[in-house]
Amino acid sequence: MAETVTMDLVSPEKLLLSDAYEMVVVPGTEGDFAVMAGHTAVTSSLRPGVISIYEGDVEKDRIFVNGGFAQIAEDKLTVLAEEAIHVADLDRTDLEQRIQNASEDVEDAKDDEARRKAQENKDQLEQLLEALG
């Protein structure tokens, strides 16, 4: 058994998940990164995307988070997400609604910076929709 990293996935309403995994890929704001045992201490914000949990080379689980934060220290990964849904439970119509909201955000954005961010969000959600098939 390879070394593992403990992941706590917490939403405001409850502790969703707390278990040890070999590798977890987290959608950081500045790019996805994989967390394995011995990872350096990092605090990062997350963009809306999918957390993938790997056991060996096999992707075991996929969880969609709607942005949040991740903190890694001493083989312990804490993900704070306001919303987390298993990709298997993700609803197509729900996602389409989110994209709709995101495009409204793009239109309502006050300055270029906000528009760029909203656009990014929207793109990511669209990618996710494609991934869902």
Partner 1 sequence: MANLKELKNRITSVTSTQKITKAMKMVAAAKLRHAEEAANAARPYAERMESMMVSLAAGLEGREGPRLLQGSGSDQKHLLIVATGERGLCGGFNSSIAKAGAKKADELIAAGKDVKILCVGKKGNDALKRKYGHLIIDLVDLSGSKRIGFGDAQPIAQRALSMFDNEEFDVCTLFYATFVSVLTQEVTEQQLIPASIPESSEETENDIDYDYEPEEEEILADLLPRNVSVQVYRALLENSASEQGARMSAMDNATRNAGDMIDKLTLQYNRERQAAITSELIEIISGAEAV
Residues that bind partner 1 (CB under 8 A): 8, 10-15, 28-30, 40-45, 69, 71, 73-74, 78, 80, 82
Report, in Å, the least distance between residue 108 CB and partner 1. Answer: 13
Residue 23 or 80: the one with the smaller Cβ distance to partner 1 is: 80
Tokens standing for 51?
């957390």
Could you tell me the smallest distance in angstroms from the CB atom of residue 8 to partner 1?
7
How far is residue 80's CA from residue 71's CA, in Å, rounded to a whole number?
A: 8
Shortest approach of partner 1 to residue 33 CB, angstroms? 8
> Can you name the residues that pair with 94 across neighbouring β-strands?
none
CB of 68 to partner 1, least distance (A): 8
Residue 6 or 29 with smaller CB distance to partner 1? 29
Closest to partner 1 by CB, 75 vs 129, is: 75
Selection from 33, 8, 20 nearest residue 60 by Cα: 20
Select 45 or 127, whichever has its Cβ closest to partner 1: 45
| Nearest-angstrom CA–CA distance, 36 and 128 | 24
> Residue 102's Cα: distance from chain center in Å?
17
Of the candidates 73, 22, 15, 74, the residue with the CA atom closest to the CA atom of residue 44: 73
